[in-house]
């Protein structure tokens, strides 16, 4: 095939150029936490097919477990997760019962012992579970899976409802990594998204978790929130960097009220436009890098000692439904309402509605609603996209041949990449594509060039 060699300037772009790039490339695009994306999931993958995949899943090496806890103290208006406001202990206790019952169903289909390398509690707010329920859940998992190789137990936590009792229970179960939701510390912005939260509660959570043996702490922030400005972003960063979190995630708020009706409570006129969002993300990146955090992929930062920074340096960074990760397990089993699983055969997702999930598990059925099987081409394109999202670079021909394909099988991908190169968003050297610093905020648009599926605009937020 033809060799490509287009050079770009590294000079800082003018505001006019940035506005023009946003106008042309700020399309709707997936976040590419999987390929194919969840938009391609269909009911063709059901409990029967998931059971077949489980029976042949590679469990000789440790798998990863994800448990979805769909409960929160309050509903934050920006939230894109599957959750609901709940504080009734009986409801949460019965949910734990069914998580363990689903684990039994999964293991019955696997038909052999399963070793677990990592456990992730997501949500929702896992620390809504009473401490005794957390410990009962972990004891139940230990009685069903081989946890002797489990090197990582992680949880997503809300500092405002994180109690000392819960942190002590976390210490007893061996919690090693925690992610604390912060978003923005401006009271005005917090009020606009229904998430009041004090810096002192965050500080108390950080200190308490570290005292209980948590060795890796991540703080989640957002830009593009209603009424948010660059000053809000930098002020929040100034406070949270004093806590020296090992990782910081800086997500762009995805406004998709047609998918998440509660987001209609956010006034559209209060949202910063694409240009303002771009500037917020850029000023945050410069601030964090100046403070010593390494930029990881599109929206993560880590101190140099952290395992995620080490994975990036070694070219081992991965991406899954939790975002950037160091997890390399070939099998991920998700338990709970809406949880997503992955084996080499494909992806499956549980019933999203908690009531329907409960009913299926109570009937002894694998509670799968949809998913997608992987073709060899999907595996190839997924690998190309993952390397672009993680490394901002990929040798297209080398990756294609590695997966047993002829490089020409990608069709007109090179001609569709040329506008990005002409605008300085990527650099093409031979068959190697490198996303430039200017192009990094647009990397999802670059990845979409390789996407063989139709990208429905109503399922995804904009790139910027």
Going by the annotation, the residues of the binding site are 66, 72, 76, 78-80, 123-125, 156, 183, 195, 220, 254, 340
**Which of 271, 317, 273 lies closest to 298, judged by CA?**
317
- Check residue 213 and give left, alpha or beta (phi > 0: left; psi -120 to 50: alpha): left
Label each residue of 36-63 as H, E or C. Answer: CCHHHCECCCCHHHHHHHHHHCCCCCCE
Residue 98: CB partners within 8 Å, gap ≥ 6?
Answer: 357, 358, 361, 362
At 235, which helix (H) or strand (E)?
helix 230-240
CA atoms within 13 A on the CB side of 451: 21
Q: Please state, as a whole number, how many other Cβ atoms lie within 10 Å of the Cβ of residue 13.
A: 14
Binding site for [4Fe-4S] cluster: which residues?
A: 72, 76, 79
Distances (CA, A) of 91 to 71, 312, 358, 359: 10, 41, 11, 14
Known binding positions for S-adenosyl-L-methionine: 66, 78-80, 123-125, 156, 183, 195, 220, 254, 340
Distance CA 408, CA 401 (A): 10
Tokens (6 digits) for 11: 């000079």
For residue 221, give the nearest of 259, 195, 200 by alpha carbon: 195
Question: CA–CA distance from 104 to each of 57, 93, 365 (Å)?
Answer: 16, 17, 11
* Residue 1, Cβ density class (10 Å: 0-12 exposed, 13-18 middle, ≥19 buried): exposed
Q: Decide: 433 and 5 in contact? Cβ < 8 Å.
A: no
Residues 367-385 as b/e (b if ≥16 CB within 10 A, e otherwise) read bbbbbbebeeebebbbbbb
Which DSSP category does 112 fall into?
A: S
**If you count them, how many residues does the chain have?**
464
Q: For residues 219 and 221, what is the distance between their CA atoms, to the nearest angstrom?
A: 7
């Amino acid at each position: 095939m033809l060799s490509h060699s287009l050079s770009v300037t590294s000079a800082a772009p003018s505001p006019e150029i940035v506005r023009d790039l946003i106008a042309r490339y700020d399309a709707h695009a997936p976040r590419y936490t999987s390929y194919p994306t969840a938009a391609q999931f269909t009911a063709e993958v059901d409990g029967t097919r998931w059971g077949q995949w489980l029976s042949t899943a590679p469990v000789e090496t440790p798998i990863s477990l994800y448990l979805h806890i769909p409960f929160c103290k309050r509903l934050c208006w920006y939230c894109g997760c599957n959750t609901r406001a709940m504080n009734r202990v009986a409801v949460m206790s019965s949910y734990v019962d069914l998580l363990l019952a689903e684990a039994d169903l999964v293991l019955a289909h696997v038909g052999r012992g399963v070793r677990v390398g990592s456990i992730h509690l997501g949500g929702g707010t896992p620390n809504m579970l009473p401490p005794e329920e957390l410990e009962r859940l972990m004891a139940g998992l230990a009685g069903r899976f081989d946890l002797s190789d489990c090197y990582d137990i992680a949880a997503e936590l809300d500092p405002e409802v994180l109690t000392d009792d819960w942190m002590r229970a976390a210490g007893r179960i061996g919690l090693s990594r925690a992610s604390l939701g912060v978003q923005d510390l401006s009271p005005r912005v917090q009020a606009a998204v229904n998430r009041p939260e004090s810096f002192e509660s965050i500080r108390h959570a950080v200190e308490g978790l570290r005292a209980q043996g948590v060795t890796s702490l991540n703080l989640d922030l957002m830009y593009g929130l209603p009424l948010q400005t660059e000053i809000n972003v930098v002020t929040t960063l100034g406070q949270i960097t004093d806590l020296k979190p090992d990782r910081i995630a800086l997500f762009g708020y995805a406004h998709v009220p047609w998918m998440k009706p509660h987001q209609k409570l956010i006034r559209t006129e209060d949202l910063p436009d694409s240009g303002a969002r771009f500037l917020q993300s850029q000023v945050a990146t410069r601030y964090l890098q100046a403070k010593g955090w390494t930029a990881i992929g599109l929206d993560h930062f880590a101190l140099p000692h952290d395992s995620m920074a080490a994975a990036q340096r070694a070219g081992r960074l991965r991406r899954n439904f939790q975002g950037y990760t160091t997890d390399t397990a070939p099998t991920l089993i998700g338990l709970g309402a809406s949880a997503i699983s992955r084996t080499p055969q494909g992806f499956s997702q549980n019933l999203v509605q908690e009531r329907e999930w409960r009913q299926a598990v109570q009937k002894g059925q694998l509670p799968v609603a949809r998913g997608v099987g992987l073709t060899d081409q999907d595996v190839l394109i997924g690998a190309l996209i993952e390397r672009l999202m993680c490394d901002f670079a990929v040798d297209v021909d080398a990756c294609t041949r590695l997966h047993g394909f002829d490089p020409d099988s990608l069709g007109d991908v090179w001609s569709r990449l040329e506008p990005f190169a002409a605008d300085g968003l990527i650099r093409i050297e031979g068959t190697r594509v490198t996303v430039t610093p200017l192009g990094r905020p647009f990397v999802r648009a670059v990845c979409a060039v390789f996407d063989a599926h139709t990208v429905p605009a109503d399922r995804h937020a904009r790139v910027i």
